[in-house]
Amino acid sequence: MTAQHPDAVDFTLAPADNERLANLCGQFDENLRQVERRLGVEIENRGHRFRIIGDDEAASVATDVIRALYDHTARELIGAENVHLQLRTAEAEAADALGPDDGAQGEAGVEASSPEGVTIRTRKGMIRGRGPNQRAYLESIQRHDLNFGVGPAGTGKTYLAVACAVEALQQDRVQRLVLVRPAVEAGERLGFLPGDLAQKVDPYLRPLYDALFEMLGFERVNKLIGRNVIEVAPLAYMRGRTLNGAFIILDEAQNTTVEQMKMFLTRLGFGSTAVVTGDVTQIDLPPGKTSGLRDAVDVLHEVNGVSFTFFNAHDVVRHDLVQRIVRAYDRREDDTAGH
């Protein structure tokens, strides 16, 4: 039951459960305070009866967030990360209701999102896109053989691509996963690395391993790697190959050269899907080298069968501070370009 007042929204959470209520509120009501700070509202509650005081839009978003978090308390412990992600989802849905996001594009610039979005099923559980750009990204991967996800860190580009790859493998739509990264150091010179090939490239490919371990489990990933069902390799080892029946992910693609990008894209075989992810604001190539990702966006933007999804700071799903950091750097770059 929800009642609307001139400056407040009143509602009652059901079913009444004191343990779930304590889980929702957090220690010293820290979860509620996080919602207040983020949305600029005031939250009052007596038991399961809540009042949200603030402007209409913020109060409505806060109501949706609290209701959704209370649903989650039935199956998990609520913490700051859960609150942050739910806030991001609610804010994105509210923005989506006002109009389409210019960042999300499918083939030839066609909008590729729906209210429900694609649901990915993995060992971790159900994974859905948070916000219109993530939903469009997942739908594009389902519909196209070659997909680009371009945007800042923390927008879920790699994680969602790995989730799609794992689901495709589990449903036997592909026979193997090939996860690729250029072995470029982020402004450092690490020198000679000891060990065999796997040990040498492991530091560069760790983010891909982490996503796989989370979705499939450590033992299963190692078994699949041992059977060559999952292959994690540096980009240099792709030359001369044709990849049929595979789901291929090229991560950190901003650090490819134009020649490397062309080489990678021409590896695509029959029955395969490729996803290319990268952030063109974090290029670690030597001075004078053009990023293969930047070049591919220019060259392929009108090619049928290729999709592009462009993320921005609004899509960041990590700590809220990451979103503010990305926006600060964007502002600085805009100011520099203006001068």
Query: In this predicted structure, what is the pLDDT of residue 190?
Result: 41
Burial 271-283 (b: 16+ CB within 10 A, else e): ebbbbbbbbeeeb
The answer, yes or no, to whether residue 195 has pLDDT greater than 50, is yes
Cross-strand partners of 147? 275, 307
Q: What is the pLDDT of residues 116-171, one digit of tens each?
A: 567 887 766 778 887 788 889 999 998 899 999 999 888 889 999 999 999 999 88
Query: Cα(193)–Cα(205) distance, rounded to whole angstroms?
Result: 14
Query: Cα(63)–Cα(213) distance, rounded to whole angstroms?
Result: 35
Query: Cα(129)–Cα(92) distance, rounded to whole angstroms?
Result: 10
> What SS3 state is found at 204?
helix
Query: Cα(65)–Cα(48) distance, rounded to whole angstroms?
Result: 15
Element containing residue 150 per DSSP (H, E)? strand 146-150
Parallel, antiparallel, or unpaired for β 42-46 and 49-53? antiparallel
Query: In this predicted structure, what is the pLDDT of residue 258?
Result: 94
Q: 231 phi and psi, to 5 degrees?
A: -120, 125
Cβ atoms < 10 Å from Cβ of 53? 17
Domain extents in the chain: 2-98, 107-338
> What SS3 state is found at 233?
strand
Q: In the CATH hierarchy, which fold is given to the domain comprising 107-338? A: Rossmann fold (3.40.50)
Question: 55-64, 90-99, 173-182 — which is least confidently predicted?
Answer: 90-99
Is the fold of 2-98 the same as that of 107-338?
no
Q: What is the pLDDT of residues 264-318, one digit of tens each?
A: 999 998 889 999 999 998 888 888 899 999 999 999 988 988 999 999 877 776 6
In this structure, which CATH number among 3.30.413.10, 3.40.50.1460, 3.30.70.240, 3.30.1370.10 belongs to the domain 2-98? Answer: 3.30.1370.10
Query: In this predicted structure, what is the pLDDT of residue 101?
Result: 46
Query: In this predicted structure, what is the pLDDT of residue 86?
Result: 83
Q: What is the pLDDT of residues 34-89, one digit of tens each?
A: 899 888 899 999 999 999 998 888 898 999 999 999 998 998 888 887 888 788 77
Q: What is the pLDDT of residues 211-256, one digit of tens each?
A: 899 888 889 999 999 999 999 888 888 888 888 999 999 999 999 9
